[in-house]
Structure formats: C-alpha cells, structure tokens
Amino acid sequence: MPDAQAAAPAEEGKGPIRTIVQSVGIFLLIQGAMKYILPQASKAPVTPVPSQDGTSVAPPSANGQPVAIPAWENRPRSYDAGVQHSIIPYNVAPMWPVGTEVDFSMYISSSIAMPPLDSMPTESLLIEEKNFKFGDYSQNREINTEFKVPKDR
C-alpha cells in the first residue's frame, strides 16, 4: 500500500501537462472538423466595369475588392436602385486624361473647414508646382520646405 501512495504524486505531476496537451489537441480537432463541416465563404466576383454610356452604375461590392473606375467622360450620371451614398469615397479617380499638365498648390491652415484659397495668407502656401504632367512617371520632383504651424484663431 505504501508503494501505491508513493506512485500517486508522480502521476499528479503529469496532470497539468496532460490537460494542456489534451486542450490543444481538442481545439485543433474541432477547428479542423469545422473547416470541413461548415460551408466556406465564397469569394465575391470583382464588380464589373460600369456602363460606358455613362447612364448608370451598379453598387460596388461590399467586400472591398477593387472596382474598375471609368474615365471621366464615361462616368455614371445616376446610380442604380439600392446604391447607398457614402460621404467617404471608396474609390477616387482623376478627372484629367493622361498627359494633362496640372498645377498643385498645398496650403496649411488651422481650420478644419477649408477657406477660399484667394483669402489664404501667402505664408500658408507650402507647395506650388506648375506644369506637372499627369501620368508621366519619368518626372521626378523633390520638395524641401519648412513651415510654421498656424495657431487657432
């Protein structure tokens, strides 16, 4: 009988390790079984190109997949039924065709609401780039500037 009592503490030491191994094993077994038992979420197809005549466009997919954006001339004039307007755009496209020369002006302001650019003080103009050719990736420009952060008015 003393031999049986001496063997009991040795088996108790295996208890926590055995419990952890069993828990991990059961977790992996359940995860593997769920993968085969439950249906997999199907991937939604990419939203088709909107109509080229510019009449309407179908709502974009909700899963965040890229949407083909038409040229400015072919943009939709109205939306299909069921399209919900969002203040935050999901996709942004330029209005200019490739090769158009554009000018960039970047201002800094303490206001959240953008005031008219002609009323902005000249010291708030950070960057003014002229004749920047849209779509010409061979143009390299580097701008180094310092500015003072304006205080709230």
Domain range list for the chain: 1-40, 42-87, 94-153
What token pair was written down for 48? Answer: 């088709």
Nearest to 128 by CA among 153, 120, 136: 120
Confidence of residue 153 (pLDDT cuts 50, 70, 90): low
Lowest-pLDDT choice from 45-54, 68-77, 124-133: 45-54
In this predicted structure, what is the pLDDT of residue 24?
Answer: 95
Share of residues in the chain with pLDDT > 90 (%):
12
16-34 pLDDT per residue, tens: 899 999 999 999 999 988 8
Mean pLDDT of the chain: 76
Strands (E), the chain: 101-107, 125-133
Identity of the residue numbered 87: I
- For residues 30 and 86, which has the higher predicted lDDT (pLDDT)? 30
Give the side-chain half-sphere CA count within 13 A for 131. 0
Question: Quick one: CA torsion of 135, 138, 144, 147, rounded to 10 degrees?
Answer: 0
